[in-house]
Amino acid sequence: MPVSDKHRIQTRELDTPPRLLLGPGPSNAHPRVLRALSNRQVGHLDPAFIELMNEVQTLLRYAWQTDNQVTIPVSGTGSAAMEAAVVNTVQPGDSVLVGCNGYFGERMVDMASRYGANVTRMEAPWGTAFDLETIRANMEACRPQVLGLVHAETSTGARQPLDGVRELCDEFDCLLLIDTVTSLGGVELLLDEWGVDAAYSGTQKCLSCPPGLGPLTLGSRVIERLNQRTTKVPNWYLDMSLVGKYWGSERTYHHTAPINMNYALREALRLIAEEGLEARWERHRRNAQLLWDGLAEMGLSCHVDASIRLPSLTTVRVPDGVDPGAVSRTLLSEYNIEIAGGLGELAGKVWRVGLMGFNSRPENVTLLLAALKDVLNR
């Protein structure tokens, strides 16, 4: 058989367009993160890498404000970390209550159902959050072993307040699992103070790192339950009783960590430690306010009430008679700016604008507002 040249296409060296990524993710990586990514490799059990693994775990604990021993980057995007959080927390037959006020709550429902949980959906309109009375009423009805909430719902731009949720969970002897993909490194997060048992995130949002790793943290209540399991965690790749041995003191091989992505994450976390969490949260708030003021001046309104509006992701209502897709396409083709449209209940009704990590800067807000004004005035 002669070698076929059918798939031997001639392509040019990669030259990507200079996009400003102001959508729901990925956001642009910080230049220092991209530089770190291109460092030469070491082996995944090299003493230099083991030192790096320790630093990444410690810096992740800072970013999340937790002392959880098991705090590691899962090899995979945010969804892999979500699945790891679910599969290591939920056991078949468990009653699991999930807040469904956006797209990612639905994803958590899907995952928990696939792993044999008895899932109850707690629903609310997209763009709102759950109050304690609603959560309590739902917990009384289904007596959950696990409560799943999305802290920063990227599909709606709403923040889920967590004050008082731990006390409720204690009352019902329930684990609290939260999605912090669009809040870690951008929005106030105090995991231990809030009594969160399990949380996950992704590198591509407010951490200013390319997609590829999914930070995960599991508290002692989850680890206890994990140790008492009588059946194996039904996902080999994401089983933290196995992966934990690689990231823990034993350093036994499980799978090869994505070496260079961990360089990138380390640099992203170093940037957070340098800036300081309070200053970083304040920067995100300030630049979001600049955006919200500018939108109001143009006569545009935000979908989410200011009291629970995320600084990292704003949903902007599309004015009557405007084709949201046409506006996004023009912003991309003429200004190299990416924003996104709405999902689910909000499809065709909003644009989603992200100001995440490195991208949360005044000049980006000014540029977007000017470009949006130009396109809308045509």
Ligand X SMILES: *Cc1c(COP(=O)(O)O)cnc(C)c1O
Tell whether residue 182 is a contact of ligand X (CB under 6 A): yes
Cα separation, 287 vs 369, in Å, equals 12
Query: Which residue number, 120 or 182, has a Cβ lying nearer to ligand X?
Result: 182
Amino acid at 369: L
Tell whether residue 154 is a contact of ligand X (CB under 6 A): yes
Tell whether residue 341 is a contact of ligand X (CB under 6 A): no
Tell whether residue 100 is a contact of ligand X (CB under 6 A): no
Q: Which residue has the tokens 């996902």?
A: 235
- Mask of contacts with ligand X, 184-223, x by CB under 6 A? ------------------x-x------x------------
Residues 149, 178 contacting (CB under 8 angstroms):
yes
Cα separation, 96 vs 109, in Å, equals 9
Residue 9 phi, psi (nearest 5): -80, 150
Q: Give the one residue of 150, 290, 365, 371 binding ligand X; rule: CB under 6 A.
A: 150
Q: How far is the CB of 161 from ligand X (least distance, A)?
A: 16
Query: Which residue number, 119 or 152, has a Cβ lying nearer to ligand X?
Result: 152
Query: Which residue number, 181 or 375, has a Cβ lying nearer to ligand X?
Result: 181
In Å, what is the CA distance from 232 to each residue of 74, 87, 194, 236, 239? 19, 10, 30, 9, 8
Cα separation, 50 vs 70, in Å, equals 15
Tell whether residue 104 is a contact of ligand X (CB under 6 A): yes
Stretch that binds ligand X, among 113-121, 131-139, 178-186, 236-244 (CB under 6 A): 178-186
Stretch that binds ligand X, among 174-182, 219-227, 267-275, 345-353 (CB under 6 A): 174-182
Q: How far is the CB of 173 from ligand X (least distance, A)?
A: 26
Q: How far is the CB of 354 from ligand X (least distance, A)?
A: 9
Q: How far is the CB of 21 from ligand X (least distance, A)?
A: 13
- Mask of contacts with ligand X, 74-93, x by CB under 6 A? ---xxx--x-----------
Q: How far is the CB of 43 from ligand X (least distance, A)?
A: 27
Q: How far is the CB of 204 from ligand X (least distance, A)?
A: 5
As given in the structure block, the two tokens for residue 167 are 């006390």
Residues 304, 157 contacting (CB under 8 angstroms):
yes
**The pairing of beta strand 198-200 with beta strand 213-218:** antiparallel
Specify the 3-state DSSP secondary structure of 94: coil
Residue nearest to ligand X (CB): 78
Question: Closest by alpha carbon to 126, among 281, 270, 304, 287?
Answer: 304
Query: Which residue number, 210 or 244, has a Cβ lying nearer to ligand X?
Result: 210
Question: Closest by alpha carbon to 102, among 313, 345, 349?
Answer: 345
Residues 215, 200 contacting (CB under 8 angstroms):
yes
Tell whether residue 331 is a contact of ligand X (CB under 6 A): no
Q: Under rule CB under 6 A, how many of the chain's residues touch ligand X?
A: 15
Tell whether residue 328 is a contact of ligand X (CB under 6 A): no
Residues 129, 308 contacting (CB under 8 angstroms):
yes
Tell whether residue 179 is a contact of ligand X (CB under 6 A): yes
Cα separation, 317 vs 321, in Å, equals 12
Q: Helices (DSSP H) in the chain: which residue ranges?
A: 31-37, 47-64, 78-89, 103-114, 132-142, 165-171, 191-194, 220-227, 240-247, 259-275, 277-297, 324-335, 362-376
Residues 128, 345 contacting (CB under 8 angstroms):
no
As given in the structure block, the two tokens for residue 9 are 């296409």
Q: How far is the CB of 115 from ligand X (least distance, A)?
A: 17
Stretch that binds ligand X, among 114-122, 124-132, 175-183, 303-311 (CB under 6 A): 175-183
Query: Which residue number, 65 or 79, has a Cβ lying nearer to ligand X?
Result: 79
Amino acid at 178: I
Residues 199, 180 contacting (CB under 8 angstroms):
yes
Stretch that binds ligand X, among 52-60, 146-154, 186-194, 367-375 (CB under 6 A): 146-154
By the criterion CB under 6 A, which residues form the site for ligand X?
25, 77-79, 82, 104, 150, 152, 154, 179, 181-182, 202, 204, 211
